[in-house]
Amino acid sequence: MEFFVGARSITRGSTGFPFDGLLLRDVADTLGIGRLVVLYWLLVALLTLSLVGYVRLIDSKYGVAFDAIREDETAAESIGVDVIRYKTIAGTLAGALIGLTGVTYVSLEGYVTPSLFTFLQVDVLVLIMLIVGGLRTTLGPVVGATVIVLLRELLSRTTEYRTAVFGALLIVLFLYFRSGIVPAVADAAGRFRGRGSQPDAEAATESGPGSEP
């Protein structure tokens, strides 16, 4: 971060600079709609493409290789997985997605400053979103981001106690949704379906061939 602040000829230091590199205002004027509406649909398209790409990637040989490397890198290499190659692919895809996200983020803000991308503002917040939503799930990041953003907006007026209340709510979420909201909801739905099918199975057993008329 100190490097970017010090490179004033490139980043203009801590003062930053205005940004409209996506020309959203020109597109909005052409279509006759608001700039934020254009940005919204751009984000929806980017999110949809990212989720579809993620699902297809996980269901392919690349997803199998990524799982093998995550479980045991040495064992994966011993069965012929090119660990360096797949790590390079994963890093490249992640970097490209982060870059696209950063561009849309500063397009929303309209201004680029180093303070927008500090450790607490980005890394910690994104990690909390992933944990709350559910790690290694398709919809987990979406659900986690929605919950955290809603909490921050609801607490925006309580500036004095915002951090304390936000931390308390996170503790509650971590206690009752330890694996994340999406896995917890999926487990609850599975148990509900299991209880619903149990009476049907018992009724089928009672009305079997050996039952009395």
User: What are the pLDDT digits (tens) for 40-68?
Assistant: 888 899 999 999 999 999 999 999 999 99
Burial of 91 (0-12, 13-18, 19+ CB in 10 A): exposed
Q: Please check the confidence at residue 113 and state whether its pLDDT lies above 60.
A: yes
The tokens for 34 are 């608001």
Name 111's Cβ contacts closer than 8 Å, sequence gap at least 6.
Answer: 16, 17, 18, 19
Angle between the N-to-C axes of helices 181-206 and 125-133, in degrees from 0 to 180, rounded to the nearest 10: 0
pLDDT at res. 104:
85
Could you state, in order of their start, the residue ranges of all structural domains in the chain? 16-113, 118-202
* 83 against 30, higher pLDDT: 83
Task: Give dist(CA 122, CA 168) in Å, integer.
Answer: 20
pTM, two decimals, is 0.71
pLDDT digits (tens, 9 = 90+) for 135-180: 888 898 899 889 888 888 887 777 677 778 778 877 887 787 778 8
Q: Which residue has the higher pLDDT, 208 or 160?
A: 160
pLDDT confidence band for 69 (50 / 70 / 90): very high
